[in-house]
């Protein structure tokens, strides 16, 4: 029996029966990190305008937690904390890279770092030591931009065997932004009109197929829901029409493009779960879905 737990905006899928009955079987880990995820973005947290059936099913099948805190308000510190298990202040990484430059501020910003020290053992490094295959997909945003050691801080320099999409960017900055061409390492550019979330999911599904017989860490750090707010045209059209007749008694944010981004995310989660089921490894896989630091106050 597969149970799903959640912590704050996290879903933890623990296959207790499978894990406890097979002492020699190492559990797989699928970690899904959503950028700028807000409490009101999923149906399981009360959203009615946004549609997230796959994520809602994870919540419905297990335990849902509704209270949690991020130690920093921006993404790079949260990402470093998750990978290292340390508070951002202990890492001296307390702002997004390259940071808020406020020369006229009344208070000085404390000295901080723009990288994770290689001396720290990160989650993928610990799992590699235990025999795991490790792969990173999506947003990294942990590289010291403009520093001599810049090219020594890609995901593959910090314990990941594979890097698809991870670079210094905090948001998609390729020519097409969320649409092809993407300009990201290891990611197939696809064809005009291809959407970033879908292409990253294609790569993640391919990894699952190739590593189904080995213990693995699939670390999927979505660029979505960070701006620029963009979504596949069909989804934008769907929510534009829905907004016309939606009974907005809860004063939800009726933004068709953001709603489309959320549904594209949900479809990605659904594809990953379906692939785990298809490969017969779902019962030996831990799934965690969480946000990095909360959503924008005016959109979630």
Closest CA to 28 of 287, 205, 290: 287
- Among 61, 54, 46, 82, CA closest to 5: 61
- CB atoms under 10 Å from CB of 16, counted, come to 11
Nearest Cα neighbor of 110 from 135, 83, 84, 88 is 88
Asked whether 168 and 99 are in contact (CB, 8 A), the reply is no
Tokens at residue 251, please? 């004063």
Backbone angles phi, psi at 47, to 5 degrees: -65, 135
Residue with token string 């290891």: 186
Strand pairing report for 216-222 and 162-164: unpaired
245's tokens: 């007749």
Q: How far apart are CA 218 and CA 135, in angstroms?
A: 5
CA distance 299 to 218: 29
Contact 218, 29 (CB under 8 A): yes
CA–CA dist 104, 167 (Å, integer)? 30
- ∠ CA 172-76-161, nearest 5°, is 75
**For residues 270 and 12, is the Cβ–Cβ distance under 8 A?**
no
Point out the residues that are catalytic. 75, 141
**Tokens at 181, concatenated:** 């061409």
């Amino acid at each position: 029996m597969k149970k799903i737990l959640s912590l704050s905006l996290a879903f933890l899928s623990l296959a207790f029966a499978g894990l406890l009955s097979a002492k020699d079987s190492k559990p797989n880990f699928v970690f899904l990190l959503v950028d700028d995820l807000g409490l009101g973005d999923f149906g399981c947290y009360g959203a009615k305008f946004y549609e997230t059936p796959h994520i809602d099913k994870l919540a419905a099948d297990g335990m849902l937690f509704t209270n949690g805190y991020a130690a920093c308000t921006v993404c790079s510190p949260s990402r470093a904390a998750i990978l290292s298990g340390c508070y951002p202040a202990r890492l001296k990484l307390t702002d997004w890279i390259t940071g808020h430059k406020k020369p006229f501020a009344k208070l000085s910003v404390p000295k901080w770092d723009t990288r994770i020290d290689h001396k720290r053992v990160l989650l993928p490094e610990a799992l590699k030591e235990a025999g795991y295959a490790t792969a990173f997909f999506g947003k990294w945003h942990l590289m010291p931009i403009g520093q001599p050691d810049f090219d020594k801080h890609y995901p593959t320099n910090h314990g990941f065997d594979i890097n698809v999409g991870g670079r210094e960017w905090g948001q998609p900055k390729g020519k097409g932004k969320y649409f092809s061409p993407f300009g990201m390492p290891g990611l197939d550019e696809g064809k005009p009109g291809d959407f970033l979330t879908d292409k990253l999911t294609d790569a993640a599904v391919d990894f699952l197929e190739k590593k189904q017989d080995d213990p693995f860490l699939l670390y999927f750090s979505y660029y979505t829901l960070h701006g620029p707010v963009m979504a596949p045209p069909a989804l934008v059209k769907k929510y534009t029409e829905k907004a016309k007749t939606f009974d907005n008694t809860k004063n939800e944010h009726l933004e068709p493009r953001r709603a489309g981004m959320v549904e594209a995310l949900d479809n990605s989660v659904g594809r990953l779960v379906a692939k785990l089921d298809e490969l017969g490894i779902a019962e030996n896989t831990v799934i965690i879905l969480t946000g990095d630091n909360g959503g924008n106050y005016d959109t979630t």
